[in-house]
Amino acid sequence: MQTNLAVAMMVRNESGRYLEAVLTQAKEYAGNNILIVDNDSEDDTPELAIKMGARVIRYPYPFHEQQIRYLAWEAASEFFRPRFIMVLDADELLFPRSIEVLEDIYNSQLEVIGGTWYHAFYAPHTVRVDGYWNSSYSHQPLMMRVNPQAEYTWNSSPLHGGRLNEQGMSMVPLNMLNILHLGYAHKDDIVKKHAYYLKHDPRGERVGLAHYNSIVATPSLMPLPYPFPGLEQLLATSSLWPNYSMPKQVASEHFKQ
């Protein structure tokens, strides 16, 4: 039996972070049609995902984004036979207003649907609006109609290779969805991600060193652009909640605006 939507994700060591919140919300619009590829987690991430109803595949090899994306896509397509696959990360929530438009997408002739990313910095309810982090530049494909007869190809990049196959990434998506990205919402993650990207892409060949270094620059922040009722309840499952703090320099720059 064909379903409307499946969610495909790749994860590693996400227990106690945002995975439980993301899966709780995803079950609202995708049911148990959630496929997770676990990249050799050292915590109980796989067990948590299974407990919450997701199907989990283990990938016990060094991280390679496109190989994992490919595996997640193929498995979600085979297990759930969906009309669309949405490719989420373990720190991303849809704004409620976006969940409301999914039915319109199912009834459309659209092939690729994109999203606008709002990047939370220092707290889940403050998003960054400067430079690379401005939502005007944060667009990318998020979900795609599945063609069971297609032979999809994937690029070979181990990092920042895009969420979809090459066919999907080559299309111009209609940006109908809004995503709250929590990956930088805690100050410790800002430092860790900056170091991680410089270690794995020291020359900035994928997105540029200026982009990487902007992660730790003093940001311009604004409140969430859209209502998000229930956000605090979702995040209550995270050990990071409510332990967020904004450095004094950032706070002074932010609140004088």
Paired strand residues for 221: 128
Predicted confidence (pLDDT) per residue in 77-134, tens digit: 999 999 999 999 999 999 999 999 999 999 999 999 999 999 999 999 999 999 999 9
Indicate whether this model's pTM tops 0.75: yes
Please determine, for residue 255, whether its predicted confidence score (pLDDT) is greater than 50: no
pLDDT surpassing 70 at residue 256? no
- Asked if pLDDT for residue 69 goes beyond 90, the answer is yes
Question: How far is it, in rounded angstroms, from Cα 146 to Cα 127?
Answer: 32
Residue pair 186/219 in contact (Cβ under 8 Å)? The answer is no
Alpha-carbon separation of residue 212 from 3, 124, 175, 204, 216 (angstroms): 39, 21, 25, 8, 8
The number of distinct structural domains making up the chain is 1
In this predicted model, which residue has the larger pLDDT, 252 or 2? 2
User: What distance in Å separates the CA atoms of residue 105 and residue 114, rounded to the nearest whole number?
Assistant: 11
In the chain the first and final C-alpha atoms are separated, in Å, by 54
pLDDT at 252: 53
Q: CATH no. for residue 35?
A: 3.90.550
Question: Which amino acid does the sequence have at 27?
Answer: K
Domain boundaries, position 208: 3-255
Residue corresponding to tokens 């990938």 = 59
Is residue 230 packed enough to be buried (19+ CB in 10 Å), middle (13-18) or exposed (0-12)?
Answer: exposed
| Residue 257 pLDDT greater than 80, yes or no | no
Contacts of 108 (CB under 8 A, 6+ apart): none
Q: What is the pLDDT of residues 176-206, one digit of tens each?
A: 999 999 999 999 999 999 999 999 999 999 9
Q: What is the mean pLDDT of the chain?
A: 94
Looking up tokens 């060949």, which residue turns up? 205
